[in-house]
Amino acid sequence: MGKGKAPPAPDYAAQANATAAGNLEMARAQAMANRVNTYTPYGSLTYTNPDTSKPDAWNSYVNLAPEQKALLDQQNITSQKLANMTDSVTGKVGTAMDQALPGAYDPALATNNAAALINTRLAPQQARETGYLDSQLANQGIMPGSEAYNTAKTLQQQGFNDAKVQAELAGINTGQQQQQQTYNQAMGNINMPMNQLNALRTGSQVTNPTFANAPAQGMTAGPDLLGAANQQYNAQMNAVNADNANSSNMWGGLMSLGGMGMMAF
């Protein structure tokens, strides 16, 4: 009895390609199962494959319900009109930017007039007070040039000076308020076109489209033909090795019996 021959090795390349083809077919089946059309009151998401020769060329479509489509169309019309208005407003922005900015506060611009108005109102009152004081001093027998007379007139003049200082301070406050209002109005005139432009741009910005993510392909494997071929080959090799081992044992036993027979003679 001769030894058994080893089985031919599998075609691993062919088995690997067959396994890969099976995996691809299973992946495509999984992808087709995941392409579930979805319908809601607001719209739908559908999948199609227009080219049967390309099984992986799927298209997805997002379709709005008629009411939602009408709202989108109206929004696009409004955005387009706002965008068209930006040209004219941009020109206004350029004109506004060419204007000189209002300067810092200058007390001489408004305080003199305010102080003069206050002093004009105080002058008749101070003249009456001067006459009253002169009459009072004369009735008291206090003569001009006397110490008492000079003291009374000095105190009166100090009061007049205090009133004048208060008039100047009131004029400064009035001037600050006037110039603050003027400054705010000037800055408002400069900023208004810019604010209008920003408002128009905000209302007419392009909305980036959003897309639904395609369902993820599961990692489902096809039949492991390569592994099966390798296991079959190993089984065949184990059978051959077992037969060869049995054959070797048998021949060894026969040789042992032959030797014992020779010794008997």
Answer yes or no: is 246 within a domain: no
Answer yes or no: is 108 within a domain: yes
CB 222 within 8 A of CB 19: yes
CA dist., res. 91 & res. 97, Å (int)? 10
Answer yes or no: is 221 within a domain: no
> Tens digits of per-residue pLDDT, 234-265?
766 676 666 666 666 555 554 555 554 555 44
What domain range includes position 129? Answer: 100-203
Answer yes or no: is 107 within a domain: yes
pLDDT at 110: 53
What SS3 state is found at 207? coil
Answer yes or no: is 116 within a domain: yes
CA dist., res. 83 & res. 197, Å (int)? 10
Answer yes or no: is 161 within a domain: yes
CA dist., res. 113 & res. 10, Å (int)? 112
pLDDT at 4: 59
Return the biggest CA–CA distance within the chain.
Answer: 189
CB 201 within 8 A of CB 86: yes
Task: Pull the structure tokens for residue 12.
Answer: 């691993």
CB 183 within 8 A of CB 102: yes
Answer yes or no: is 158 within a domain: yes
Task: Pull the structure tokens for residue 130.
Answer: 């001067």
Q: Around 225, how many Cα atoms within 13 Å sit in the side-chain half-sphere?
A: 15
What SS3 state is found at 57? coil
**C-alpha distance from residue 184 to each of 37, 93, 179, 199 (Å):** 60, 18, 8, 21
Task: Give me the helix-helix angle, 225-264 and 12-34, nearest 10°.
Answer: 150
pLDDT at 168: 76
pLDDT at 62: 86
CA dist., res. 134 & res. 224, Å (int)? 128
Answer yes or no: is 40 within a domain: no
Per-block mean pLDDT, blocks of 10 residues, the chain (265 long): 62 72 80 85 88 85 87 82 77 73 59 69 84 86 88 88 81 76 76 75 59 59 64 69 63 52 50
Domains identified in the chain, total number: 1
CA dist., res. 94 & res. 74, Å (int)? 31
Place of tokens 């406050």: 173
